[in-house]
Amino acid sequence: MKDLDGRYLLANRRIGVFAGPNTPPGPVEGRLDVELFPPEQARRFRQSDWAAARSGKAIEIEDHIEEKDGTHTYLTVKFPLKDDDGTVYAVGGIATDITERTRAEQALRASERRFRTLCQHAPIGIFLTDAEGNMTYANPRCEMIYGFSEPDALGEGWFRYVHPDDQPAVIEQWRRLAKAGANFAMEYRAMTPDGAIRWVNDQTVPLLSDEGEKVGHVGTVEDVTERRQAEIELRRERDFAKGLIATARAIVLVIDGSGRVVLVNPFVEHVTGRPADDLKGRDWFAAAVPQDQRDRARDATMRALSGETGEPIIYPVSGPNGRFHRLEWANRAVLGPGGETCVLAIGHDITALEEAQQRALHAERLAAIGEMVAGISHESRNALHRCQVCLEMLAIEVEDLPPALQLIDRIQAAQDTLYHVFEDVRTYAAPIILERRACDLTEVWRTVWAQITAGRTSRVAELIEDLDGAVPRCSGDPFRLGQVFRNILDNALDAAPEPARVEIACEPASLDGEPAIRVAVRDNGPGLGPEQRRRIFEPFFTTKARGTGLGMAITRRIVEAHGGRITVGEGARPGAEIIVTLPRDLI
C-alpha cells in the first residue's frame, strides 16, 4: 500500500523479489519505488498507481519482472483506498505470480497449432469420431476426397457420400466394429455431390484414454482410385505383363517353382536398392526377404502354383541401409517365358501408408484434450497451493483493511472456482473404482435433492416420484450414483423455469437380457436441441456460461462402470429427459 506521493505505507516480504540487486537493505515502508527498483520498473509501477487513483476503481496489469531465475509474469490488481468522504488517500496492490500458468497456456496453444497444422496439410484424409462412431471432425483432404463440407458429414452424415451400392455393407460393418471398439479397414466407392466416383481406403482404429477407455476413433482416408483402376487394368492385361512391369509403381515379380527370379521390374530397385538384373536367377526369398519371414512368404507365394489365389498377403522386403519395406502381395499362377508354370507376384509398398497412419494416430493421442488439460491441471494445482498460502499471509497483513479483505475474498472465490475446474478434469481422467453394496436409489436421489435445493432457497422446486410398483434397488456405489443424480438434477434445475418441476419415473427393465432398473428424470424446461441431444455426453461440451462441460461425461463413465447405460429420452413430452438403466445385481 502506498500514499499518493508513492511512498510505501505497508508491504509484505514478498515484494523483495521485485527489487534489483542494488536495492539498499531495510524495510520498504517510507520509501519510493525509485529507491527500490530499476528506473523503468519504478516508472511502470508509478504509472499504474496513478491510473488506479485517477479512475477510482480497481485495475489489472500484467507485469513482466526480471528475477534471478529469469522473467516472471505477475497479474497485479491495484485499487484506490478512500476515506469516509470518498477521497482517495492511498493505492493498494496485490501481485500474483502467474508464470507457470502462462507458460502452460503457451505450450497448450503451441501443441494445438501443431495438431491443426498437421491435419490441415496432411496429404491423406484424417477424421475423428466419438465413442459411438459419430464423426466429429474431418480435415480438408478428407472433405476433398468425399466432396462434402465438414458440417454436412458430422454424426452419420458422411454415410450419404458412400456409393449407394456400397452403403449397406459399409454402414453395417462400420457400426458393428465401432460399437465393438475394433479396427475398421475397408475399401469402397465414394460418390461426390457432382456424381464423381472415387475409391477410398478407409482405415480406422479406436482412440483410447490413458486408462484404456475407448473415447472415440481416429481414421485415415486415402483416395486409391488410381491404384484400383491400375489393378483392374493389370488383371485385364496380366498375360501381357512384360509390357506393363517396366513402368509399374509396384514390384512386379515372376518367380519359378523353386523361388528363383525369372522377371522383375525396375521398381524393385526403388524398394530394395538392388538393380533388377542383380536379382534375376537368384532365390527371391533368400535375397530379399528377412530370414524370420522367409518360410511364411515362400509358402504363401508358392500356393499360387496350385491355382490358389486367396487373399493378398503382407510381408517385408529388405531395403537399403537395413530398412524394411512392408508390401502387400497379390499372387497368381501364370505361364513363364519358357512355358513353365510360374508365380506372378505384384507387391505394393504400403510402408508410407502405415507410417502415416501411425503418425496420425500418435498425433491425435498427443493432442487429445484430456491429456493436455490433465497435465496443466497437475502443474496448476501446485501453483494454486502457493497462491493460497500467499492469500492467507496477505489477509493477515491487511486484516484491518476491510476493502482489501473483500478483494482477497474475491480472489479466493476465483481460485476456488479454478480449483474445482481442475478437480473436474482430474475426476474425468481418473479411473473409476466402485465400492459396491446394496443400494436404494430413492434414498440416493432424495439425499441429493435435499442437498442441492438447500443451496437454492430462492427457487420453488418440486420433485415428483412415480415408482409404478418398482423396487428401485440395485448393487452399486451410493457415492458414485449420488454424483450421477447430482449432475442430472443440477442440470434439470438450471434448465427449469419458475416453479421448477422435476419428475423421476422408475420401472423394471431388461439390460442385455438381465434384470435391470430404469430411472427416467424429466424437467419442465425447454428441452434439448438436436446438437445438445447428440453431444450432451461429450467431454467439454457445454451450453452454460460457466463450467467445464465434464459433468455429463463423468456421469456416463460412472453409469457404464456400473454396467449400465445412460441415454437421452425421445422428447415426445416437454422438457429434457435423461434415462439411466442399471443392472439390479452385480454382486
Helix (H, G, I), strand (E, B) or coil at 45: helix
Instruction: Identify which of 34-38, 95-99, 500-504 has the greatest average pLDDT.
Output: 500-504
Q: Burial level of 78, CB count in 10 A (0-12/13-18/19+)?
A: buried
Q: What is each CA distance from 210 to 21, 166, 569, in whole angstroms?
A: 47, 36, 31
Q: Is residue 362's pLDDT more than 60?
A: no
- How large is the average pLDDT for residues 339-361? 81
- How large is the average pLDDT for residues 363-384? 59
Q: Which domains does the chain have, with CATH numbers?
A: 1-97 (3.30.450.20), 106-223 (3.30.450.20), 230-350 (3.30.450.20), 437-583 (3.30.565.10)
Question: Who contacts 309 (Cβ-Cβ below 8 Å, separation ≥6)?
Answer: 330, 331, 332
Question: What is the pLDDT at residue 162?
Answer: 92
Q: Is residue 237's pLDDT more than 80?
A: no
Distance CA 454, CA 472 (A): 24
The mean predicted confidence, pLDDT, of the chain is 83
Q: Taking a C-beta distance cutoff of 8 angstroms, is the pair 272, 362 a contact?
A: no
Question: What is the pLDDT at residue 324?
Answer: 86
Q: Taking a C-beta distance cutoff of 8 angstroms, is the pair 280, 261 a contact?
A: yes
E strands of 337-481, at which residues? 341-349, 437-440, 461-466, 473-476
Instruction: Give the number of residues written for the chain.
Output: 587
Helix (H, G, I), strand (E, B) or coil at 412: helix
Instruction: Identify which of 1-10, 71-80, 443-452 has the greatest average pLDDT.
Output: 443-452
Question: What is the pLDDT at residue 17?
Answer: 62
Q: Is residue 289's pLDDT more than 70?
A: yes
Q: Is residue 339's pLDDT more than 60?
A: yes
Q: What is each CA distance from 196 to 189, 457, 545, 557, in whole angstroms?
A: 10, 63, 44, 43
Question: What is the pLDDT at residue 346?
Answer: 87
| Span 38-77, pLDDT tens digits | 888 888 888 888 888 888 898 888 888 777 777 888 888 8
Nearest to 521 by CA among 585, 573, 557: 573
Question: What is the pLDDT at residue 366?
Answer: 37
Q: Is residue 450's pLDDT more than 60?
A: yes
Question: What is the pLDDT at residue 243?
Answer: 63
Q: Is residue 363's pLDDT more than 50?
A: no
Question: What is the pLDDT at residue 522?
Answer: 93
| Span 175-232, pLDDT tens digits | 888 888 889 999 999 999 888 999 999 999 998 887 888 888 989 999 999 888 888 8
User: What is the CB-side half-sphere exposure of residue 25 using CA atoms within 13 A?
Assistant: 0
